[in-house]
Structure 1
Amino acid sequence: MGTALAGAWLAAGHPLTVWNRNAARADGPAARGATVAATAAEAVAANRLVVVCLLDDASVEQALDDVDLAGRDLVNLVTGTPGQARVRAAWAERRGARYLDGGIMAVPPMIGAPAAGAYVFYSGSSELFEEHRGTLAVPAGTRYVGADPGSAALHDVALLSAMYGMFAGVAHAFALVRGEAVAPTELAPLLGSWLTAMSGSVTRTAEQLESGDYARDVVSGLAMQVAGKGTLLRTAEEQRVSTELLEPYFRLMERRLEIGHGGEDLTGVVDLLRR
Structure 2
Amino acid sequence: MTTTPGGHTPEKTSVSLLGLGSMGTALARAWLAAGHPLTVWNRTPARATALTAEGARVADSAAAAVAANSLVVLCLLDDASVAEALADADLTGKDLVNLTTSTPAEARARAEWARERGARYLDGGIMAVPPMVGVPEAGGYVFYSGSRALFERHQAVLAVPVGTTYVGADPGFAALHDVALLSAMYGMFAGAAHAFALIRQEDIDPTAFAPLLADWLTAMAPSVHQTAAQLRDGDYTRGTVSPLAMQVAGTPTFLSTAEGQGVSPELLTPYFALMRRRLTEGGSPDEDLTGVIDLLVRP
Q: TM-score surpassing 0.5?
A: yes
1:119: Cα distance to partner? 0.8
Residue in structure 2 matched with residue 164 of structure 1 by the alignment: 186
Q: Name 1:270's counterpart in structure 2.
A: 293
- Whole-Å separation in 2 of the counterparts to 1:79 and 1:32: 27
Match runs of 1:143-154 below 5 Å: 143-154=165-176
Q: CA deviation at 1:30?
A: 2.1
Summarize deviations over 1:19-46 as a string: whole Å, max 9, x none: 1111122234222111111110111111
The aligned residue for residue 96 of structure 1 is: 118
Deviations 1:63-88 (A, max 9, x none): 11111111110000011111000000
Amino acid at match of 2:291: G
- Number of the residue aligned with 1:210: 232
Q: Distance in 1 between the 2:276 and 2:50 partners?
A: 54
Match of 1:38 in 2: 60
The residue type paired with residue 74 of structure 1 is L
Structure 2: gaps (5+ residues)? 1-22
* Secondary structure class of the residue paired with 2:188: helix
Aligned to 1:191: 213
Deviation at 1:220, TM superposition (A): 0.4
- 1:85-104, CA deviations, whole angstroms, 9 ceiling, x for partnerless residues? 00000001111100000001
Aligned to 1:56: 78
1:168 positional shift: 0.6
- Per-residue CA distance 1:229-251 (angstroms, 9 max, x = gap): 11111111111111111000000
SS of alignment partner, residue 122 of structure 1: strand
User: Across the two proteins, how many residue pairs are aligned to each other?
Assistant: 275
Please give the TM-score of this superposition, normalised by the length of structure 2.
0.90
1:222 aligned residue: 244
User: Are residues 1:5 and 2:27 paired?
Assistant: yes
SS in 2 for 1:266: coil
**5+ long unaligned stretches in structure 1:** none
Distance 1:232 1:94 in 2: 55
2:220 maps to amino acid: M
Distance in 2 separating the partners of 1:160 and 1:253: 22
CA deviation vs aligned residue, 1:192-245 (integer Å, no higher than 9, x gap): 000000001100100110010000000101111111111111111111111111
Q: Quote the residue 2:43 is aligned against.
A: 21
2:10 corresponds in structure 1 to none
Contact 1:110 1:117 in 2 (8 A): yes
The match for 2:20 is none
**Distance in structure 2 (CA, Å) of the matches to 1:221 and 1:87:** 43
Identity rate, percent: 71
Which one has a larger percent helix, Structure 1 or Structure 2?
1
Q: Is the Cα–Cα contact under 8 Å of residues 3 and 28 in structure 1 kept in the other structure?
A: no
Name the CA distance, whole Å, in 1 between partners of 2:273 and 2:50: 50
1:251 and 2:269 aligned: no
Please give the secondary structure, in 1, of the residue aligned with 2:154: helix
Match of 1:142 among 164, 167, 179: 164
Say if 2:150 is the partner of 1:128.
yes
Partners of 2:232 and 2:51 in 1: how far apart? 47
In 2, the alpha carbon distance for the partners of 1:9 and 1:28 equals 15
Q: Deviations over 1:126-180 (max 9, x none)?
A: 2211111100010111111111111111111110110111111111111111121
Whole-Å Cα distance in 1 between the matches of residues 215 and 58 of structure 2? 46
Residue aligned with 2:191, SS: helix
Code of the aligned partner of 2:290: T
1:59-98 correspondence runs (5 A) = 59-98=81-120
Letter in 2 for 1:272: L
One-letter amino acid of the counterpart of residue 201, structure 1:
S
